[in-house]
Amino acid sequence: MVKEKENSKFPPLVDGKSQYDLTSGKYLRVWQGPQHPGITGNMSLELTICGDEIIDCKTHVGYLHRGFEKLMERRKYIQCFPVVCRICVPEPDFNEYLFAACTEELAGIQIPERAEWIRTLNLEMARLTSFLMWIGGQAGSFGMGTIGQWTVTLRDYMLDLFEELTGGRIYHMYMLPGGVRADFPPGWINKLLDTLKTVEKTLDDVELAMMHNAVFKMRAKGLGIITPDMVDKYGITGPNARAAGVARDIRKDSPYLVYDKLDFEIVTGTKSDAYGRCEVRIKEMYQSIDLIRQIVEKMPKEGPFFTKLPNVLHWRIPAGHTYKRAECTRGEYGFYVQSDGSDKPRRTYVRGPSYTHAVALMEHLAIRTNIADTAGLMVSLHTYPPEIER
C-alpha cells in the first residue's frame, strides 16, 4: 500500500476503510463488468475512482451461480460425473479428477496404474491449455491482441487433441470413478508430441514479444504486488504465491497420481507483481510440456485403464468424508465429498482457487492502481469466476 502522504488526493483510511464522500464531486463510482471484456468471466467490480485512480474496489459475484454443490446432492455418484466438469469451463479436468478421486477413496477403489498415468497426462494437458487461454487475456488486457490470437489458436490445437481422446472439446467427461473412459486413439501420441513442438515454438515467440516488451514491462512491473506475508493471510496459492518466492506446489508437497515418478522442480519467482506472475506461468507452461513428454516416455504402454465398479445405477458409497486437492493452473483446487452411505453424495464442497484470488485479494490489490490497469491486474491473478460460484 502506498503510504499516506499529506495533501494526498486519497481520502483518509479509518480501520482499513476509505473515508470518501461521493457527494463531494471528487469521486466517481463506476461498474466494471459483468460484461466488460477486461473482467475474466461473469463477475463485476464496483470501483470508486478519483480521476483515473481507484480508491475503493468491491467485487460482485453471483452472476454465474448454478448450484452445482446442491445439484449433486440429488444425483447418484455416476450422475455427478457429467456435472462436475461444468464447474470450471476453461479447465474442467481437475473437477473430473478430484470428484473421481474422492469417490474412489470413499469407496475403497484402486484404479489401474495406467489410468493414473493417463489422468496425469490429461491434467498436464489441461494446465497447458488453460495457460494458453490465460496468455490471451493477459496480453490482450495490455493491448497486445496479436499474442492472444496465437495462443488461442494453440489452445484450439490442444482442444483438437482432447476431442480425439475424449470425444469432447470443452467438457471432456473422461476421468470418471474407476479410471478413464477410453485408451488413446491410434497415432494420437505422435500428434500430441507434434502439437507440443508447435506450442513450444510459439511460446518462444511469445516470450520474446511479451516478456521482452518495453510497454508490457512498464505496465506490468509493480502492478498488484503480493508480498510473501500476504500469502497465508489471503489464502493465496499457485503461481500467485510462487511468484512471491513461496515454494508451494501440491504436485511436489503431497504428490497425487504419478507426480512422484516425474522429474520437475517447483517454479518460483522473486516478486509477485503482474510481470513476475507472468514469468512464473510461462515457465510452468514449459514445465507442463516437459512433464507431458516425460509421461509419454515413462508410462506403461499397455494395460487396463478402467477398474470394474459395482453397478453404478445403485452404487452406494460407505459413509465417510474426504478432501482431495490438486495443483491446477490457478493454485489449489479441492473437492470435499461427504457420504452418508447412500447412493448420492450428502455434501460436496468445491474449493476453487479463484475464490480467494478474485474477491478479497482483488479488492485489496486494486486500490491505488490506475483504472486502465484493472483488467491486466485481474487477469494476472488468473481467476475463473465459474469456480467461485459452485
Partner 1 sequence: MSLKDIIAPFSVWKRALEKPYTNRKPIETRPGADRYRGFHQNAIDQCIGCGTCEEICQNNAIDLVPLEGKTSSHGDSGLRPKIDYGRCCWCALCVDICPTGSLGMSNEYIWITTDPEDFRFIPGGESKPWDDRAEGYRRAEGYDLLEAERVEMPMLSFEESQKSFIEMVQGYSKEQAMEEADRCVACGICIATCPAHMDVPAYIEAIRNDDMGEGLKIVYNANPLPASCGRVCSHACEYVCAMKHKGEAISIRWLKRYIIDQIYLGDYKEILKSADESNGKKIAVIGSGPGGLSAAYYLRLLGYEITVFDANEKAGGMLRYGIPEYRLPYEQVDKDVEYIRQLGVTINQDLKIGVDRDFKSLYDEYDAIFFSTGLKDPYGLEIAGEDLPGVQSGLDILDEVTKGKTPDIGKSVVVVGGGNVAMDAARTSRRYGAEVTILYRRREVDMPADEEEIHESQGEGCKLVTQAIPLRVEKGDSTRLKLFFGMAEMVDQGEGQRPKPVLIEGSEEVIECDSVITAIGQEADYSFIPEEIGKNLVFNRGMVQINEFRQTGDSKIFAGGDIANRKRDAISAIADGHSAAKGIDIYLTNFKEK
Binding site for partner 1 (CB under 8 A): 75-76, 78-83, 86, 146-147, 150, 153, 160, 163-168, 171, 173, 179-183, 185, 205, 208-209, 212-215, 217-218, 304-306, 308-314
| Cβ proximity to partner 1, 94 vs 157, nearer residue | 157
| Cβ proximity to partner 1, 51 vs 304, nearer residue | 304
| Cβ proximity to partner 1, 123 vs 144, nearer residue | 144
C-beta of 79: minimal distance to partner 1 in Å?
4
C-beta of 111: minimal distance to partner 1 in Å?
12
C-beta of 195: minimal distance to partner 1 in Å?
12
C-beta of 219: minimal distance to partner 1 in Å?
12
| Cβ proximity to partner 1, 69 vs 363, nearer residue | 69
203: amino acid identity, one letter: L
| Cβ proximity to partner 1, 173 vs 359, nearer residue | 173
For residue 377, what is its C-alpha cell? 491486474
C-beta of 48: minimal distance to partner 1 in Å?
33
Within a 10 A sphere around the Cβ of 89, how many other Cβ atoms?
Answer: 16
C-beta of 42: minimal distance to partner 1 in Å?
20
Q: Is the peptide bond before 34 cis (omega within 30 degrees of 0)?
A: yes
C-beta of 314: minimal distance to partner 1 in Å?
6
Question: What ranges in the chain are assigned the alpha helix state H?
Answer: 68-73, 77-84, 93-107, 113-141, 145-166, 188-206, 214-220, 228-234, 239-242, 250-253, 274-298, 353-356, 362-366, 374-380
| Cβ proximity to partner 1, 13 vs 208, nearer residue | 208
Distance between CA 167 and CA 32 in Å, rounded? Answer: 37
| Counts of helices then strands in the chain (DSSP H, E) | 14, 10
C-beta of 61: minimal distance to partner 1 in Å?
24
Distance between CA 54 and CA 374 in Å, rounded? Answer: 9
Site of grid cell 513442438: 197
Interior angle at CA 185, CA 285 and CA 256, nearest 5: 45
| Cβ proximity to partner 1, 28 vs 71, nearer residue | 71
Question: Under a CB-based contact definition with an 8 Å cutoff, are residues 144 and 213 in contact?
Answer: yes
C-beta of 30: minimal distance to partner 1 in Å?
31
Question: Under a CB-based contact definition with an 8 Å cutoff, are residues 229 and 162 in contact?
Answer: no
Within 8 A by CB and 6+ apart from 364, the residues are: 234
**Cα pseudo-dihedral 267, 260, 93, 278, rounded to 10:** 0
| Cβ proximity to partner 1, 307 vs 338, nearer residue | 307
C-beta of 338: minimal distance to partner 1 in Å?
20
Distance between CA 250 and CA 297 in Å, rounded? Answer: 23
How far CA 378 is from CA of 32, 63, 252, 292, 309, in Å, comes to 12, 17, 27, 29, 43
Name the DSSP class of 85. Answer: G
